[in-house]
Amino acid sequence: MVDIGDDAPDFTVPKAGGETYNDLDEFTFSDAIADGPTVLAFYPAAFTSGCTEEMCAFRDSMGLFDDLDAQVFGVSVDLPFAQNIWIREENLNFPMLSDWRHDVIRDYDVVLDDMYGMIEVAERSVFVVDTDGVVTYRWVKDGENPDFDHLVSETREAVEDATN
């Protein structure tokens, strides 16, 4: 299990930017972490109510992360084409990473293997990684969905701590 103080597992996946349905780039995590503290917000599935509420809470608070030169990425097993449509529909202002092979959720040990009793998806979770590639914050859903505004505020505080 990836925990605070561990080196964050590296990965390469498609990144959905949201400009068009086929706005795709290859994304390698180790290349991105030098640009500032990084938030990986894992969510089960695009277009669902809880995931939309969570990602919109991040959307509405992006200025707070921008002030810290932090990057935020949503991560799910959705295909990047679907993620692009969702980004556009919800006016999300940060990219989504498509773990369509399910490797990243396994590496971070955030697999929810029984969505609807049949689909393996990401467990709702958040990791903050500093510029050295070390996990400085980890939150994994336990029970019901949290107050997402509070989760985003807590994540922002963790990012601020990672910059000090």
Q: Give the residue numbers annotated as catalytic, written as ranges.
A: 51
Q: What φ, ψ does residue 98 adopt, rounded to 5°?
A: -100, 105
| C-alpha 147 chain-centroid distance | 17
Q: What φ, ψ does residue 120 adopt, rounded to 5°?
A: -90, 125
Q: What φ, ψ does residue 95 adopt, rounded to 5°?
A: -80, 160
Report the distance separating Cα 126 and Cα 153, nearest Å.
Answer: 12
Report the distance separating Cα 114 and Cα 128, nearest Å.
Answer: 26
What are the C-alpha distances in Å from 10 to residues 2, 7, 104, 128? 12, 9, 9, 14
